[in-house]
């Protein structure tokens, strides 16, 4: 029968203990979860890409107000480059 040296015993205990910790911590590692949005949130998200979008119009007005004093071409270039922070669509 083979006798186990102290070094082999400690190494195997460390490996087994580490594997046990990994298994216990694995559940906590999946902290990101996907949840269904509320009906109101879904309606807001879906409604953002429609052609007649009030929120996008408000964003354009706010951007134009902030860029007052710049040339019209610069304002139009900024509006064309800006994207909606909610849906990611161009606002113009």
Torsion angles phi and psi, residue 68, rounded to 5:
-60, 135
CA distances from 33 to 41, 43, 58 (A): 17, 21, 32
Run of H or E including 63: helix 54-66
pTM: predicted TM-score of the whole model, two decimal places: 0.47
Using one digit for the tens of pLDDT, what is the confidence trace for 30-39?
A: 667 777 878 8
What residue spans define the domains of the chain? 1-30, 43-81
Model confidence at 77: pLDDT above 80: yes
Distance separating alpha carbons of residues 58 and 64, to the nearest angstrom: 10
* 66 burial level (CB within 10 Å; 0-12, 13-18, 19+): exposed
């Amino acid at each position: 029968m083979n006798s186990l040296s102290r070094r082999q015993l400690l190494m195997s205990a460390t490996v087994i203990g580490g594997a046990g910790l990994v298994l216990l911590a694995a559940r906590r590692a999946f902290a990101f979860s996907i949840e269904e949005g509320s009906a109101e949130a879904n309606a807001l998200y879906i409604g953002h890409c429609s052609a007649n979008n009030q929120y996008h119009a408000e964003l354009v007005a706010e951007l134009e107000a902030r860029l007052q004093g710049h040339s019209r071409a610069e304002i139009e270039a900024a509006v064309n480059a800006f994207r909606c922070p909610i849906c990611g669509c161009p606002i113009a």
